[in-house]
């Protein structure tokens, strides 16, 4: 396991990060998504991603977008959250299983508690179910 503190840093996303965040999202879906979906399904999912969906400067009030940055400056993970919802949490395949998603989730949970939230909702992909269950989330409904 990589030493998180010396290899990565977490920071708020800035508008110039949008294209790289989109790339992280796409690569994660196309690779890690295969543990829960077919190749056709992941390709369809990734094809629906558009740059306008990552407008950091247009985030609604209460929304936070954080990124994990590798020592070389590369953005390798991101989390988009509100006090009541994790809207997206994705990691580049080559940087998965190093604690990045857990750290980003921990930050989102802290902000959520600070805002007075008792519950955080997610729409988890099948490929992420183990991660969410490992962190104490439970399925309350399934969506087709």
Task: Tell me if residue 144 falls in helix, strand or coil.
Answer: coil
| Residue 81 falls inside a structural domain | yes
CA distance 49 to 72: 26
Whether the Cβ atoms of residue 97 and residue 2 lie closer than 8 Å to each other: no
- pLDDT 10s digits, 79-114: 999 999 999 999 999 999 999 999 999 999 999 999
Query: Residue 47 pLDDT more than 90?
Result: yes
| Residue 128 falls inside a structural domain | yes
User: The domain spanning residue 99 has which CATH number?
Assistant: 3.40.630.30
Q: How many domains does the chain have?
A: 1
Whether the Cβ atoms of residue 109 and residue 102 lie closer than 8 Å to each other: no
Query: Residue 9 pLDDT more than 50?
Result: yes
Q: What DSSP character marks residue 141?
A: -
pLDDT for res 1: 41
| Residue 116 falls inside a structural domain | yes
| Residue 140 falls inside a structural domain | no
CB-based burial label for 84 (10 Å; 0-12, 13-18, 19+): middle
pTM, two decimals, is 0.90
| Residue 142 falls inside a structural domain | no
- pLDDT 10s digits, 126-138: 888 889 999 988 8
| Residue 143 falls inside a structural domain | no
Whether the Cβ atoms of residue 56 and residue 13 lie closer than 8 Å to each other: yes
| Residue 39 falls inside a structural domain | yes
| Residue 63 falls inside a structural domain | yes
Instruction: For residue 100, give its domain range.
Output: 4-134
Annotate 11-68 with DSSP letters as a single string: EE--GGGHHHHHHHHHHHHHHHGGGTS-HHHHHHHHHT--GGGG-GGGPPTT-EEEEE
């Amino acid at each position: 396991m990589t030493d998180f503190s010396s290899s990565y840093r977490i920071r708020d996303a800035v508008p110039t990060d949008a294209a790289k965040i989109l790339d992280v999202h796409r690569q994660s879906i196309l690779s890690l998504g295969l543990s829960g979906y077919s190749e056709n399904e992941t390709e369809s999912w990734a094809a629906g991603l558009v740059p306008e969906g990552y407008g950091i400067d247009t985030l609604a009030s209460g929304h936070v977008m954080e990124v994990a940055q590798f020592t070389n400056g590369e953005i390798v993970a991101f989390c988009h959250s509100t006090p009541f919802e994790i809207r997206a949490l994705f990691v580049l395949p080559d940087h998965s299983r190093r604690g990045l998603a857990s750290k980003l989730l921990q930050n989102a949970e802290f902000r959520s508690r600070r805002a007075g939230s008792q519950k955080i909702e997610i729409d988890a992909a099948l490929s992420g179910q183990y991660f969410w269950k490992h962190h104490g989330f439970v399925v309350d409904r399934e969506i087709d």
